C-alpha cells in the first residue's frame, strides 16, 4: 500500500514540476509578447502623432495661404470690425449682437473714438469693415480720402443735452444752475433762459466740452452756446461762448465719453453730450429747447446760421444724424453691406431704449454706385434716395 502511495506521489510531483515549468515558459512568452506589442504600440502612436502634427501644421498653413489669396484686405480673425462713434458704443454693440445671432457672422467689439478721429485712422489705412459716425464730415471724401466708400445711410437723429449727476447737486453753484434751468423750463421766458446760461458760463461750475477736432460733440456744444446767445442774449451769438472761455469754465477731454467719469466724481459739474448717451449712462438730463439742441430737422435752416471752425474746416450747425457706411478699404465688403442691410431693417426695434428719433425710411446718399442689396431696399421702400453725399 505504501509502495503505491509513494509511486503516486512521485508521479504527482513530476506532474507539478512539468506544470510549473510550462507555466513559467508560458509566462515568459506572454511577457515577451506584451513587450513586443507595447513597443509596436509606442512606435505607432509616436509615428501617428508626428504625422498628425505635421498634417495640422500643413492645414493651418494652407488655411492662412487660402485666406490671404481670397481676401483683398486684411480680414480680422475675430470678424467684422465696426468703427463706432464712442457716444454710440452701446447702440453699436446691440446691433452687432443682433446681426451675429441672426447670421452667424462674427464681429469684433466696436472700436470707439470720436467720429473725426476714427475717420483719420481709416484714411491712414487701419483695418475697418463698417463705420458708424455721428458726423457727415467724417464719412465724406475729403476726410476718408482713398477709403471713401461713395455712399452712406442716415438712419436716426439725436440731440445735444447737458448731463449732470448727484455730485453736481452737492455743489452749491451746481445746484443753483439746475434751479435756474428748472425755472426757465417752467416759465420759458427769455429772461430766465438768459439767467440759466449766464449761471452755466459764470466759471463757478466746470462744464465739460470735448475736443472739437476729435469729437463732433465738442463743436456742437459751442454751436449750442452760439444759438443760445442769439436767442437769449440779444442776438449776440458769441456772448455765452466768450463768457465761458473768459471765466475758464470749460473743461476739455478727448471725447464726451471720456468726460463722463469726471462728471460722476464731481470733478466737473456739467457735460455737453448727446441725449442718447445720457440715457445709456444713466445720467441726469437738462433737456434743451429745440431751438438750440440741434435735434430737429425742422430747425436746420436756423441751426446752419451758427458755425465752428476746426482743423479740417468750418462746421455748420445742423440736426445731429447717425450715419453708417462701408469704407472702400473694408476687410469684408460683402458681409459689411449685409450688416448695413440688417441695421436698416432692425434699428427701430433694437435701438428703441436709447430715445433716438428714427428716420423713416432711412435715407441713402451717394456719389458712386449703390451696392445691389441696398438698391433692393430702395426698390421695396425700405430706403429712400436723398441725393449726393
DSSP helix/strand/coil, 359: strand
Nearest to 389 by CA among 144, 110, 122: 144
Distances in Å between the Cα of 318 and the Cα atoms of 87, 144, 157, 269 are 18, 21, 11, 27
Residue listed under C-alpha cell 441695421: 343
CB contact set of 176 (below 8 Å; sequence gap of 6+): 199, 204
74-108 residue pLDDT tens: 445 579 999 999 999 999 999 999 999 999 999 99
16-75 residue pLDDT tens: 344 444 444 444 434 433 433 344 443 333 344 333 333 333 333 322 222 332 333 344
pLDDT at 6 over 70: no
Edge-first strand order for the sheet with 111-113 is: 111-113, 82-85, 130-133, 320-325, 151-158, 357-366, 384-387
Nearest to 137 by CA among 210, 80, 213: 213
233-253 residue pLDDT tens: 999 999 999 999 999 999 999
Q: Quote the CA–CA distance of 108 and 285 in Å, as a whole number.
A: 32
Q: Quote the CA–CA distance of 105 and 146 in Å, as a whole number.
A: 27
Among 68-72, 198-202, 289-293, 375-379, the minimum mean pLDDT is found in 68-72
CATH class of 80-389: alpha beta
Nearest to 340 by CA among 296, 297, 387, 378: 378
177-191 residue pLDDT tens: 999 999 999 999 999
Q: What is the predicted pLDDT for the residue at 76? A: 53
- The mean pLDDT of 334-359, rounded to a whole number, is 97
Among 2-16, 108-122, 133-147, the minimum mean pLDDT is found in 2-16
Residue of higher predicted confidence among 381 and 76? 381
Angle, helices 239-246/216-232, rounded to nearest 10 degrees: 120
Bin 355: left if φ > 0, else alpha if -120 < ψ < 50, else beta: left
In the beta sheet, which residues pair with residue 358? 156
CB-CB contact of 119 with 139 (8 Å) = yes
Amino acid at each position: 500500500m505504501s509502495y503505491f502511495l509513494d509511486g503516486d506521489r512521485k508521479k504527482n510531483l513530476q506532474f507539478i514540476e512539468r506544470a510549473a515549468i510550462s507555466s513559467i515558459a508560458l509566462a515568459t512568452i506572454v511577457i515577451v509578447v506584451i513587450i513586443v506589442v507595447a513597443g509596436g504600440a509606442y512606435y505607432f502612436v509616436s509615428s501617428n502623432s508626428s504625422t498628425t502634427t505635421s498634417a495640422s501644421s500643413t492645414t493651418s498653413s494652407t488655411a492662412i495661404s487660402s485666406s490671404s489669396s481670397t481676401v483683398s484686405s486684411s480680414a480680422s480673425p475675430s470678424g467684422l470690425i465696426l468703427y463706432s462713434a464712442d457716444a454710440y458704443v452701446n447702440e453699436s454693440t446691440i446691433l452687432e449682437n443682433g446681426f451675429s445671432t441672426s447670421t452667424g457672422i462674427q464681429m469684433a467689439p466696436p472700436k470707439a473714438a470720436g467720429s473725426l478721429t476714427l475717420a483719420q485712422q481709416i484714411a491712414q489705412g487701419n483695418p475697418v469693415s463698417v463705420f458708424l459716425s455721428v458726423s457727415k464730415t467724417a464719412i465724406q471724401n475729403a476726410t476718408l480720402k482713398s477709403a471713401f466708400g461713395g455712399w452712406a445711410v442716415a438712419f436716426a437723429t439725436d440731440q445735444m443735452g447737458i448731463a449732470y449727476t448727484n455730485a453736481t447737486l452737492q455743489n452749491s453753484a451746481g445746484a443753483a444752475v439746475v434751479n435756474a434751468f428748472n425755472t426757465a423750463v417752467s416759465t420759458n421766458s427769455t429772461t430766465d433762459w438768459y439767467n440759466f446760461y449766464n449761471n452755466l458760463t459764470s466759471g463757478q461750475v466746470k462744464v465739460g466740452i470735448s475736443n472739437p477736432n476729435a469729437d463732433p460733440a465738442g463743436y456742437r456744444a459751442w454751436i449750442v452756446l452760439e444759438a443760445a446767445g442769439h436767442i437769449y442774449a440779444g442776438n449776440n451769438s458769441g456772448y455765452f461762448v466768450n463768457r465761458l472761455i473768459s471765466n475758464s469754465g470749460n473743461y476739455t477731454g478727448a471725447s464726451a465719453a471720456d468726460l463722463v467719469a469726471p462728471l460722476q466724481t464731481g470733478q466737473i459739474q456739467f457735460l455737453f453730450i448727446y441725449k442718447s448717451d445720457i440715457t445709456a449712462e444713466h445720467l441726469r438730463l437738462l433737456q434743451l429747447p429745440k431751438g438750440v439742441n440741434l435735434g430737429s430737422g425742422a430747425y436746420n435752416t436756423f441751426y446752419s446760421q451758427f458755425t465752428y471752425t476746426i482743423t479740417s474746416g468750418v462746421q455748420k450747425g445742423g440736426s445731429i444724424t447717425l450715419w453708417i457706411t462701408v469704407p472702400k478699404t473694408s476687410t469684408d465688403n460683402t458681409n459689411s453691406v449685409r450688416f448695413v442691410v440688417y441695421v436698416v431693417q432692425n434699428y427701430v426695434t433694437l435701438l428703441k431704449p436709447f430715445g433716438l428719433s428714427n428716420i423713416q425710411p432711412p435715407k441713402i446718399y451717394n456719389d458712386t454706385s449703390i451696392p445691389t442689396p441696398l438698391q433692393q431696399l430702395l426698390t421695396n421702400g425700405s430706403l429712400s434716395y436723398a441725393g449726393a453725399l
